[in-house]
Amino acid sequence: MTVRQYGRKVSLLVGNDQEALDLSDFRFRFHVCRGDYQTPNSLDCRIYNLAPATVAKIENEFSRVILQGGFEGNFGGLFDGTIKQPRKGRSSQTDTYIDITAADGDHAYNYSTLALSLAAGSTPTDSVQAMIQAMASSGISEGYLPELPGSGRVRGRVFYGMARDEMREFAQNCGCSWSIQNGKLTMIPLTAYIPGEVPIISNDTGLIGTPEQTHNGINFRVLLNPSIKIGQKIKLDNATINKLRYGLDVQSQARNEFLAQQIKTNDDGEYYVMVSDHYGDTHSNDFFTDAICLAVDATVPESMVGRAAIAPEAAAIKKN
């Protein structure tokens, strides 16, 4: 998918089940942190010069914030979550602000519990549906789930404790990572990625600077792009990537070999997104996305692929 980035757009809604306010015309700045890890995604947003009555509603009545952004032809959701802490202040004698800290699925992550048993013959799909049901009262629904193994359990299974802990163990046994994305429980196999349109990252589509190969993966910055979603694939020209300098001492050799497989470049320029952070300010030039990705054929350590893994024979990310 190639979309030229021009005509920037942004939308900010705050409210509750009965009422919502559109604050898109006010000056605000934001930072969204998203990743394929189980810790909830977060938003920090500062809105300037609201009326005292609006500030009071945000402090005392409103509980939800929805942020969208991008450009003409490429506009979409950046964050949808729960307001955790509003903080008002003043940046000058004439300008006031209110800061909003919000989280995506924070209540489900911190408070959802399980106390149930599944009979012999229950499948992995039964297990994950039970955990989604445990989080449903906190607003969590089903997101992307891979095709799970279909065989039933030889013995029954008891789930007891924090839903997040049971979900973590379950995802590891299935060879997946799990996270909550915009209120939806999502599982991404360590040996695959979420299907969908593939954004092409280039100078024509908003690439800023030069992509860098680091110890954490391939890092790049683009103009704000909601199409860069966690667990999905992007296409990047390998010729634009600055390569990592490996250590030369003897102690670094084993680490160099490990890194060479973990952060390798893909021959076809195909990478999947692990982290995407969105930054913006409606009254400045800040309007970009920082992403960290890995090659779609990067090696997955055998220790991370569970006994009931989605692709038990695969040691590398599989291609569609």
Q: What is the pLDDT of residues 281-301, one digit of tens each?
A: 999 999 999 999 988 876 655
The answer to whether residue 5 scores a pLDDT higher than 90 is no
pLDDT of residue 266: 86
Query: Which whole-number Å values give the CA distances from 213 to 192, 294, 305, in the listed order?
Result: 21, 10, 25
Does residue 226 share a domain with residue 143?
no
Which position has the higher pLDDT, 311 or 251?
Answer: 251
**DSSP-derived secondary structure for 80-127:** EEEEEEEEEEESSSS-EEEEEEEEESHHHHHH-EEEEEE-TT--HHHH
Q: How confident is the model at residue 111 (pLDDT cuts 50, 70, 90)?
A: very high
The three-state secondary structure class of 243 is coil
CA separation for the pair 195, 233 (Å, rounded): 8
pLDDT in tens, 50-84: 999 999 999 999 999 999 999 988 999 999 999 99
pLDDT of residue 301: 57
Residue 170 clears pLDDT 50, i.e. is over it: yes
Range of the domain at 236: 200-304
Q: How many Å apart are CA 32 and CA 201, to the nearest integer?
A: 20
- What mean pLDDT comes out for the span 233-252? 85
Give the per-residue pLDDT at 163: 93
In whole angstroms, give the CA distance from residue 90 to residue 180: 34
The answer as to whether 236 is a domain residue is yes
Q: In whole angstroms, what is the distance from residue 32 CA to residue 15 CA?
A: 19
In this prediction, residue 150 has a pLDDT band, given cuts at 50, 70 and 90, of confident
Residue 311 lies inside a defined structural domain of this protein: no
Give the pLDDT score at 311.
Answer: 44
State mean pLDDT over 227-245: 91
pLDDT at 2 over 80: no
If phi over 0 gives left and psi between -120 and 50 gives alpha, with beta otherwise, what is residue 258? alpha
Beta strand 41-48 with 96-104: parallel, antiparallel or unpaired?
antiparallel
pLDDT-derived band at 109, boundaries 50, 70, 90: very high
Give Dmax (Cα) for the chain. 69
Same domain, 152 and 230: no
Section 114-141 average pLDDT: 91
Tell me whether residue 195 is in a domain: no
Q: What angle do CA 130, 133, 139 make, to 5 degrees?
A: 150
Check residue 261 and give its pLDDT. 74
Q: pTM for the complete prediction?
A: 0.87
Other C-beta atoms closer than 10 Å to the C-beta of 137 total 11
Do 240 and 207 share a structural domain? yes
Residues 39 and 65 in one domain: yes
Check whether residue 205 and residue 300 sit in a common domain.
yes
Whether residue 308 has pLDDT greater than 70: no
Which pLDDT value is given to residue 215?
A: 87
Q: What is the mean pLDDT of residues 211-217?
A: 90
Of the three residues 189, 214, 235, the one that is the final residue of a domain is: 189
Which of these three, 189, 221, 240, is where a domain ends?
A: 189
Which has more confidence, 250 or 167? 167
Question: Considering 75, 104, 133, which residue would you say is the last residue of a domain?
Answer: 104
Average pLDDT of span 190-214: 90
86: nearest Cα among 112, 118, 104, 64? 64
3-class SS of residue 261: helix
pLDDT at 236: 94
Query: What is the structure's pLDDT at 296?
Result: 87
At residue 34 the predicted structure's pLDDT band, cuts being 50, 70 and 90, is very high
Same domain as 99, residue 171: no
Same domain, residue pair 78 and 128: no
DSSP code for 316: B
Report residue 158's pLDDT band, with 50, 70 and 90 as the boundaries. confident
Domain count, the chain: 3
- Whole-angstrom distance, CA of residue 318 vs CA of residue 191: 6
3-class secondary-structure state, position 270 = strand
Q: Which residue has the tokens 């960290």?
A: 292
Q: What is the pLDDT of residue 307?
A: 43
Query: Are 22 and 47 in contact, with CB atoms under 8 Å apart?
Result: no
How many residues make up the chain in this entry? Answer: 320
